[in-house]
Amino acid sequence: MPLPTTSAPLAAALASRGYTDLTEVQSAVLKPEAAGRDLLVSAQTGSGKTVAYGLALAPDLLGDAGTLPEAGEPMALIVAPTRELAIQVTNELTWLYANTGAKLVTLVGGMDPRAERRQLGQGVHIVVGTPGRLRDHLTRGALQIGNLKALVIDEADEMLNLGFREDLEFLLEATPASRRTLLFSATLPKTIIQMTKRYQQGALRIEVARGQAGHADIEYRAIRIAPNEVEHAVTNILRQAEAPSAIVFCNTRETVRHLSSALIERGFAAVTLSGELGQAERNQAIQALRDGRARVCVATDVAARGLDLPSLGLVIHADLPSDAETLQHRSGRTGRAGRKGVSVLLVPISRRRKAEALLVQARINATWGAAPSAEEIRAADEARLLADPIFTEEASEEDTATAARLIAAHSPEVLAAALVRKWRASLPSPEDVFEPSFGPDPKGGKPGGRDRDERGPAKHERSGPSVWFRMDVGRRNNADPKWLLPLLCRRGKITRQEIGAIKIFDRETKFEITESVAKRFAEAAAHSEGDDITISYADGSAGAAGQDGERRPFKGKPVHGTGGPSRDKPRRPRPKKPRA
C-alpha cells in the first residue's frame, strides 16, 4: 500500500529503511477512524505489526512536534510475552524513532535488574518488557507510570498461553485509566474479547489475518522422510538452500543439542537458542547470525516469536509443531515485511496425518515432495561453482604471478581438478536419503514416494546385465531398504541407479549391482573399515537362497563393509537336560 502521510521524523526513518509501501496492518492503524482510539488488532506474524503500533503511537508521543520532550517517566509501555520479542521490539522502535530523540529501555528476565533500575532513573520515553519483570519494577517503585499515555500489549494470546494473565491484569489495572490501549493478537479467543471489554473503551477492531491462506510471502513445503533420517534430510535441505541463514525448530532442548552437534560435525556454522541459555548467550547467538559468523540456528519454540533476521530465508521444522498457531509463528520468522522465504516441514510416515491436520488448520497449501538427493546437491554445487563471480573478478598482480607459476608447473586439467576438490572440501558432504512411500498425496492421486515392500524385491531402473551380491544381515537384524540403500551407496561408491532388486530374507539380504560397476563396488567395499557386515559375491542367481533365508554356500572372497546395525546372531540351542 502507498506510504501515507505520517509524522515527518517517522516518515524519514521509513524511507531510510527502504519502505515504499506499508503492509495492510500498518495502513489500517493509520486510517482516520483509528486516530486516538483503543485498538484491538488481529494480525498474523510477520505482517509488520511492530512498525504498525510504532506508527500508531506517534500522535500520542509526538503530537505536532518533531521531537520528544526531555526524558522522564515513560510515555508508552509495551508488553511482550518473551525476552526475544521484547528485544526485537526495542530494536525496531529504536530505528523508527531515531530522529525524535527517543530513549528506550528493555526490561526482561535474565538481565541485571539493578542496571535496569539505573536506566529508568535516568529518564525514558518508551519502556518495552515482559510481564513479570515489568510487574517487579512496578511493585518496587522503580517504574513510575503516572504519566503514561499509551499501553501496547503485543501477542496477547501467547501471553495468556504462557500463564501471564495475572501479571497482565495487574499491569492493566496499575496504568492510568486515561491511557490509550492497543492490543495485538494473532488470534482472538473468548478470554481476549473479555479482557478488551473490561480494560478497553470503545475499541476499534481491525482484522487482517482472517481468510488468508498461510503467509503470502512464504513458500511451504512438506518433505517425506524416513523416521531415522531427520539429520540427513536437514543436512541436504540446508546444503541445497540459497538462503544466507536458516533456523531449524525442534520440540525439545535435547533434540536441539543433538541436532546442532550433528550439524557442526558436518561443517555447518551453527548456533542454538533454547530456554536453558542465559540472555547473554542468546544475544551472542543472534548476533552471530546477524553478522554472518553463523548460518544455522537450531532452536526450540523460544525463537518462534520475536526473532527477526533480514537474511533468514529458510525455516525447517525438524519436529512438527504442536499446533497450527505455532506452525505459523515458526514459519513467520521468514518472509517478513515483504521479503520471500521458505518453510519446510519434515514429515515421517507416522506423522503424516498430524502434518495434514496442521496444514488444514493453518490454511496452508504445502507442496509435498522428497528431500533433495545427494546427486541433486552435487549438480547444484557444480552450477554454483561455474557461476561463481570469482572467475570474472579482476585478479591482483600477486595473484596473477602465482597463477602463472601454477600454469607453468601443472596442466589446466590438474589445476581445474584441484580447484574442484578445494571447493568441495569447503562444503558439508550431502547425505544419501531414502524417500518412503506415503501412498497418494493429499491433493493428488499420485503415489507419494518410491517406497517398496521391505520384505520383497526393491526394483530400480537399470540397463544391461547385473551381478548379485549378498550380505549377512536379514529380517532378524531389522534389515530395511531405508538404511541398506544408503549403506551400499556409501560403502561401494555407487549411486542408487546402479542398484537393482533387493531381497531380504530371514538371515541374509541379496541385491543386484549393475555389471559395469560391480568390480568397482566390490573393491570399494573391500577397503571399508569394520567387520559389522560381510558383503560377498552371491552364488548364482537371485534364487540361490533357500526358503526363508536358508543359506547355501557362496563362492568368492568376502567383501567387508560397515554402516548398518550390529548383528544379533542367533545363539546355538542348549542341549536339554534329561528329566529326573
Q: Which of 95-109, 259-273, 490-504 has the lowest mean pLDDT?
A: 490-504
Same domain flag for 226 and 130: no
pLDDT tens, residue by residue, 446-473? 434 443 333 334 444 445 688 999 988 8
Asked whether residue 458 is domain-assigned, the answer is no
Residue 437: pLDDT over 70 = no
By DSSP bridging, strand 559-561 and strand 533-537 are antiparallel
Same domain flag for 19 and 145: yes
Q: Residues 337, 96: contact at Cβ < 8 Å?
A: no
Q: Residues 66, 86: contact at Cβ < 8 Å?
A: no
pLDDT given at position 3? 63
pLDDT tens, residue by residue, 546-562? 333 333 333 333 344 33
Who contacts 557 (Cβ-Cβ below 8 Å, separation ≥6)?
A: 526, 536, 537
Q: Where does a domain end: 207, 229, 254?
A: 207
Span 130-144, mean pLDDT?
95
Q: How far apart are CA 446 and CA 438, in angstroms?
A: 10
CA 378 vs. chain centroid, Å, equals: 22
Comparing 227 with 417, the larger pLDDT belongs to 417
pLDDT given at position 51? 92
Residue 569: pLDDT over 50 = no
pLDDT given at position 227? 76
Who contacts 436 (Cβ-Cβ below 8 Å, separation ≥6)?
A: 224, 225, 226, 348, 349, 449, 451, 482
Could you tell me the residue range of the domain that residue 506 belongs to?
A: 466-561
Asked whether residue 194 is domain-assigned, the answer is yes
Q: What percent of the chain has pLDDT over 70?
A: 84
Same domain flag for 348 and 233: yes
Same domain flag for 175 and 232: no
Span 90-98, mean pLDDT?
94
Residue 420: which pLDDT band, with cuts at 50, 70 and 90?
confident
pLDDT tens, residue by residue, 308-343? 787 889 999 999 999 888 898 899 888 876 678 999
Same domain flag for 151 and 250: no
Q: Residues 559, 527: contact at Cβ < 8 Å?
A: no
Asked whether residue 336 is domain-assigned, the answer is yes
Residue 145: pLDDT over 60 = yes
Same domain flag for 266 and 193: no
Q: Which of 60, 14, 52, 12 is nearest to 35 (CA)?
A: 60
Same domain flag for 56 and 92: yes
Q: Where does a domain end: 207, 238, 255?
A: 207
Q: DSSP character for 252? A: S
pLDDT given at position 449? 44
Could you give phi then psi for residue 120, rounded to 5 degrees? -65, -40
pLDDT tens, residue by residue, 157-192? 888 888 899 999 999 999 999 999 999 988 888 889
pLDDT given at position 100? 94
pLDDT given at position 214? 54
